[in-house]
């Protein structure tokens, strides 16, 4: 998992980063709202651990912005604000969980794993969304209960898009994480894989964001379509 940790306290931030890293997670740690927003624009993350009181603003502003943009990115708030009203406000405005400081690292790790399971169907390693079903263990894919055969690159591409459904993933990230050997600047290899994947699962799922990358849009999204 790729996690973005937004926490301005040096001791706590370093402790959380180390604990998550020891669990095999990739963690980027920033201390300001502006830096977090920049990271989210430039990279794909599986989850955000978000402090509220930050030097340049409130983490709640970032939370509200992400939910206005319809991102389905899981967000776990870490805050010293422990009143019922504070917790309800965070949860009602889009946070997936709320952990009050000070907390035990073991509880943070447990909640992070639980949130990942709820968000991405990791209990059985099957992701089911919008008529698509992808099993990461057996590497089987079904579209409306119809089995489809994908190449290794097509499978990894679909898995990445499904886990971040509704969020634009840049071409750079896709090339780096999907193509053998990483980024393939100047080639049309990624476009070929996207084209083949569309042909196999249906052309209405993956939309091109010109000059940026791709987004997987599920049925019912009014903006769905291909360009």
Whether a cis peptide bond, with omega within 30° of 0, leads into 221 is: no
DSSP state of 37: H
Mean pLDDT calculated for residue range 37-55: 91
Sketch the domain layout of the chain as residue ranges. Answer: 2-120, 126-216
pLDDT interval class at 27 (50, 70, 90): very high
pLDDT in tens, 145-183: 789 999 988 998 999 899 888 889 998 888 887 877 655
Which spans in 93-151 are helix H? Answer: 105-120
pLDDT over 60 at 121, yes or no: no
Alpha-carbon dihedral angle through residues 29, 35, 41, 43, given to the nearest 10 degrees: -20
pLDDT over 90 at 37, yes or no: yes
CATH for the 2-120 domain, from 3.40.462.20, 3.20.20.480, 3.40.50.2300, 3.30.70.1900: 3.40.50.2300
CA-wise closest residue to 176 among 27, 38, 43:
43
For the chain, the straight-line distance linking the first and the last C-alpha, in angstroms and rounded, comes to 30
Strands 213-216 and 206-209: antiparallel
Predicted pLDDT at 59 = 94
Is it true that 2-120 and 126-216 share their CATH fold? no
Integer-rounded Cα radius of gyration of the chain: 18
> 126-216 is classed in which CATH architecture?
Orthogonal Bundle (1.10)
Mean pLDDT calculated for residue range 81-98: 91
Instruction: Check the CA dihedral 126-72-219-201 and report its sign.
Output: negative
d(CA 113, CA 119): 10
């Amino acid at each position: 998992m790729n996690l973005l940790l937004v926490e301005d306290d040096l001791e706590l931030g370093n402790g959380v980063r180390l604990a998550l890293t020891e669990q095999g997670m990739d963690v980027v740690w920033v201390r300001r709202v502006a830096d977090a927003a920049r990271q989210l624009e430039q990279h794909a993350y599986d989850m955000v651990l978000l402090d509220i009181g930050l030097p340049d603003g409130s983490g709640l502003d970032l939370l509200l912005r992400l939910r206005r943009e319809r991102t389905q990115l899981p967000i776990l708030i870490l805050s010293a604000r422990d009143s019922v009203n504070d917790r309800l406000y965070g949860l009602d405005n889009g946070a997936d969980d709320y952990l009050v400081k000070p907390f035990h690292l073991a509880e943070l790790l447990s909640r992070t794993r639980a949130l990942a399971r709820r968000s991405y169907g990791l209990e059985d390693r099957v992701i089911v969304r919008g008529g698509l079903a992808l099993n990461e263990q057996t590497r089987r894919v079904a579209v409306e209960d119809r089995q489809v055969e994908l190449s290794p690159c097509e499978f990894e591409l679909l898995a990445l898009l499904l886990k971040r459904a509704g969020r634009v993933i840049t071409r750079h990230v896709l090339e780096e994480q999907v193509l053998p050997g990483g980024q393939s600047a100047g080639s049309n290899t990624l476009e070929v894989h996207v084209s083949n994947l569309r042909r196999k699962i249906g052309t209405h799922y993956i939309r091109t964001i010109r000059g940026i990358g791709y987004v997987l849009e599920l049925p019912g999204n009014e903006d769905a379509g291909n360009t």
